[in-house]
Structure 1
Amino acid sequence: MTRFGPGRGELWFRLIVSLAGLAALGVAAVVRPVGPAWIEIVGLGGAFFGGTALWSARALRKARRR
């Protein structure tokens, strides 16, 4: 890993929490899709959890190659 970046354990934690957040967001969208605010909730939540999951997976893959 980089000298100042998060460690491997923290990246795994972020990846797991992000995937759990995406799953919870998906369940919430299926169970209670009411009103126009859901577009914002799914958009922002999906961007946050999805972006964090992709960033963590990319960093873990990059660290594995070294």
Structure 2
Amino acid sequence: MNKFGPSRSEIKLRLAISLAGLALLVGAYAFNGIGGIASLEIAIIGTAFFGGSAIWCVTRLRRKDDP
């Protein structure tokens, strides 16, 4: 394990926060819909941020070299 990187428990916390953020984003747009171009931009940026963070966390948790 890299001594400078986050621990497994911190990565699990980041994954939970990322999935919660994605769920809130999907829930907000399912309830209100996309109102305009600015709303669409926020949806794209939010999905990219939370989705990318979740993918990064899953790949780090699936590594064999991290205990």
The alignment's TM-score, normalised by the length of structure 2, stands at 0.88
Q: Is the 8 A contact 1:21 1:49 kept in 2?
A: yes
Give percent identity, aligned residues only: 47
For residue 20 of structure 1, report the CA deviation from its aligned partner. 0.4
CA distance in 2, matches of 1:48, 1:5: 20
Structure number with the bigger relative contact order (C-alpha 8 A, sep ≥ 6) is 2
- Residue 54 of structure 1 corresponds to 55
Q: Structure 1 stretches (4+) deviating beyond 6 angstroms?
A: none
- Residue 25 of structure 1 corresponds to 25
Residue correspondences, number:
64
- Structure 2 unaligned blocks of 5 or more: none
Q: Provide the alpha-carbon RMSD of the alignment.
A: 0.9
- Structure 1 unaligned blocks of 5 or more: none
Q: Is the 8 A contact 1:15 1:53 kept in 2?
A: yes
Task: Please identify which structure carries the higher helix content.
Answer: 1
The alignment's TM-score, normalised by the length of structure 1, stands at 0.90
